[in-house]
Chains A and B, each alone.
Chain A
Amino acid sequence: MAPGVERSFTAASTIEEALAARRQGASVLAGGTWMMRDPRRGVDLPEAVVALHRIPALSKVEVEPDHVVIGAAVTHAALGRALRGSAGFEGLVAAAEGAANPGIRRVATVGGNLCALDFAAADLAPALLVCEATVELQTFEGPRLLGISDFLKDRHALLTEAIVTRIHLRRDLIASAHIRLPLRQAGDYPVAIVSLAVDRNKRCRIAVGSVEPVARRWTALEQAMAAGPASALDPQRVAELALEHNDFQGRDGKEADGWYRRQVLPPLVKRGVAALLSTEGVAWL
């Protein structure tokens, strides 16, 4: 920032106020755990910032019998507390309670995790992909709902004129799991992340994070599993299918080379299926 220029900081109390600041070029500040490290990455902090933490509707988790709505400013810690014990959301809870470290989880938000454009290792992205979450945006033209796969693919463009406000989840999962491979217990970004879920139709959903720049569903593996016998939830068998259908292009990074991120996927899938089988939801299938 140029010397003598005062930074603009708006603590919005409504979505409309936040959008007005965004329209004037302010960057959205959620928990700050990504943006505050911009200077460490050689990036200047934005000259204008709009904070969302004072908008009450964005800090709520609404748990209803058939759906869940998560405010974008809900922290990882709060999300874990709100959904702990909810059948079908075991993976999302594990993602919220296993990311980073406890101090970060008390600050970092759901919206921030999904909107940090250069953050490939976001834990919530694959966990929400297998939930087939819907992302609610407030755009300059009005509200908009978008499937999370499309949101993640297009978020660079979308976020130039929109703010993520809520995440909507159907309660159609009977079990889920979230497996991550960090190099240490905490403090590292995971080398690879695999989220898995089984829906009421006994279809298995699988998503992978941190291997490619943006998390995505592993549709080739899902289709291979769907083509198999009903007893497809065998960890060894699924790991073999994962090896056969590994269509990921691993990204090189300081934690790990791309080939390694790709290579660890079958064993992570095996662990994930074993975790699924240990849940109550799958045990009685």
Chain B
Amino acid sequence: MSMYKVGKGVRAPLLLNTVSVTLLFMIIGLPVLAIILFAIFPKVNELSFAAPFSQFIPQLQDERLIVATLNSIRLALAVTFSSMLVAVVLAYMRSKMAESIGRMWDVLLLIPFLIPPYIGSMGWMQLLQSNGVLDQWLNINLSNVLFSFSGVVFVITLHLFPVIYFSAASSFKVIGQRYGDVAKIYGANSRQIFSRILLPLIVPTLLSTGLIVFVLTVEEFGTPNILGSRFGFQVMVTAIEEKMSDWPIDLSGASVLSLLLVVIAISAYLLQMFITRRFACKLDNQTMTSVPSKNVWFSMVSNVIFFIVVCLAVVMPIFAIVSSSLMRTVSLGLQWDNLTFNAYTHLFFSNSDALSAIYTSLGLAAMAAVITAIIGMLVAFTLIRLKPRGKAVLDILALLPNAIPAMALSVGLILTWNQTFWPVTPYNSLFILLLAYVCLMLPYPIRMLSNAMKQLPQSLDEAAAIYGANLFVLMYKILFPLMIPIMVASSCIVFAISTRELVASLMLVPAGTETVATYVFNQFDQGSISSGMAMSFIVIVISGALIALGQYMSKRYLS
């Protein structure tokens, strides 16, 4: 597309290109670079370049590492496949559903983003372990199932499949009825239509979001740590965290291992590109509203399946959170006389810390949501329309924050920004948290917006240029309005995850400040599980309400 490349007098594309490359580099590239440097030079934190590469051999010699690496890959593959399966089935059913009901399920399936994975895992443990709720009430002890490879896959899948579901659902919408109808004319039954026509057509979407799930699983710490350590299941991230969890702290070693994760992520990215190229085909760009299925059985079965999934992925963890927040003591369990609202009254009436933590987190999350949407838009435009040289590098850079453990990335951020040579630095202020959230969350808007922008016909841009729009007018009047639904959707995800982000918050929070997650963490640390859970629940409700409000407003704005 050389409309943006052509020579002399056309500086705007170049400027835009430079701006988005610079932003990506400053926000993601610098901390990643810092991690790489730290892996190579173990003393780079003291600004010394002594003993380069001295960490590599000793770190990589650890034989547990091979097992952990294989476990990470195995787990990530299993989670990716099972998430795809769940997501595709649901997304297909969603495309045949009446809009009103479908939208309700969509909102419910956003909730898993709000729930910290470790809390979800704690909830499942509480429910399924021996002497757990299910054991006490129904005498069913599923602890062997939960504390197993499939148990870990199950819990992470329930947490991550929405990432694929939302993209797959919008893809089914684009593909629409037409291709299915064509196949029907040529005698295909619905199962054949699904497997032969629709599935291959959404493969690129599946792969591109599947890649995110893969990488997120490789990076996932909470669930493997809580469930996996019960049956000796080590993954890369738990090995990395071990190097930073207690004495002795080995940041350089952790950086070396983080590089392994980067390698895994890049390989996954290349594999995804390779497969996508084989499936690549261009859909014509007409969106047709899909017609809800009139088959009563089909819609009943769909709704029942949605109901079951929502129960497992949403109701269950929320139930665990609420019940823990109401328990006077943990050891007495779920009994009527052990229930109390003390945790809530305490939060609201005698605790200004909690409220200020909520303000801090919501404010940061809202800013992160807006900023990532804007940067995501610029980067998506650069990647899809300007197609600069080295596009793959930018693409990979935009993926890395999902691949590198938040802990390592936080160290990278400190190494980058806590230097005296910067005239100004966000470090040691709330801005570093904002920067960290933006860095960690950027992959979501970039992926979602680039996928969406690929679907927009080029002629829309060209028409704008022909009729006198410069690049900024094009962005402002054409692309932004067209992308607003996707920007809102990605912002909601960023907002949801930011309100609960723990690891980076704990590492980077400026002295004297608290976020929701660090507050909850400190409550757990003091043994006040109920008040930690109460705080979690309140924040889930508030941010859920804000997200619903945001979506409602954006819909009203659009119509």
Q: Verify that A and B bind, or say they do not.
A: no
A interface residues, Cβ below 8 angstroms from B: none
B interface residues, Cβ below 8 angstroms from A: none
